Amino acid sequence: MSFPTPVPVDALLAIFRWVLETDDVSPSTNFFEAGGDSLLATRVLSLVARDHGVELGFDEFVCHADPAALAGLVGRLLSGEPAGSPS
Amino acid sequence: MSPVVSPADSPAVGRPPRTVVVGAGLAGLTAAAELAAGGSEVVVLEARDRVGGRLLGVEVAPGEWVDAGAAYLGDKHTELLDLMTRLGLKPAPMEMVGDSRFVLAPAGSEAATRAGRFPPLSAVALGDLFEQLDALTRQIDPIAPWRTPDAARLDRLTAARWAEEQLPREDARLFFPLFLG
């Protein structure tokens, strides 16, 4: 039995704000509704890989496209759990 | 443009004129072909290990070529169209047809290729490329680019060398010239 490794939402908030070039991002802000596109999404995935050591696919990001959901997904993957659906 | 140099001691009596063309790009090769057709002995010098200059094709999957250099010509490029006709080359229409031209790979998947499709590319690798381009261009004031930190070094750096130094992942190196092109 493993416990999810917590990944602070703040870390994902900082990545969203950097890539979207706005401070107007909350834990529930949907990346694509806030002006993100597929090109910018690849930059989020690159920074997640750099900072957290997890390589996500584009499809996974689309299903976890806000900071809170993405933090949850990264935490579950770091704990070795299957990605599953957004919590 | 390619300078065309005729040796001062030429032409000797009874010998064809001899000409050196510097650069095997479109202009140099066109000049060389016309000089040769006019009866000159022509030597073309080229620094690279290929001809074509700004014309460059990249094979991104077996039998699938894309232009990574000059690619488009219009109806008013009458001389070039005429040259292509003489060489038996046909232009290809440039309307966008079909699905998107590159595919982001699902995480952990093997890159697979099928006809008409380029290999799915790693989203993380492409993101790394875009992130680095963004970090670089954020430093540059387009009105006064010479004020960029490290401007002298950047000015001497080619895009190819930059990619070599900054992009460890194959997918990013593959995509970079297509992105520029």
Q: Cβ B124–A55 below 8 Å, yes or no?
A: yes
β-strands B104-105, B121-122 pairing: parallel
What's B147's DSSP letter? G
Are A42 and B126 a contacting pair at CB < 8 A? yes
Å between A43 CA and nearest CA of chain B: 4
CB B124 within 8 A of CB A45: yes
Q: Looking at A68-82, B114-128, B151-165, which range is the least confident one?
A: B114-128
Q: Cα separation of B174 and B125, whole Å?
A: 10
Average pLDDT over residues B104-122: 59
Q: Is the pTM of this model over 0.95?
A: no
Q: What is the ipTM of this complex?
A: 0.82
pLDDT in tens, A36-71: 988 899 999 999 999 999 999 888 999 999 999 999
Q: What pLDDT does B180 receive?
A: 79
In angstroms, the separation between the Cα of residue A17 and the nearest Cα of chain B is 14
Cβ neighbors of B148 (< 8 A, separation 6 or more) are: B139, B140, B141, B154
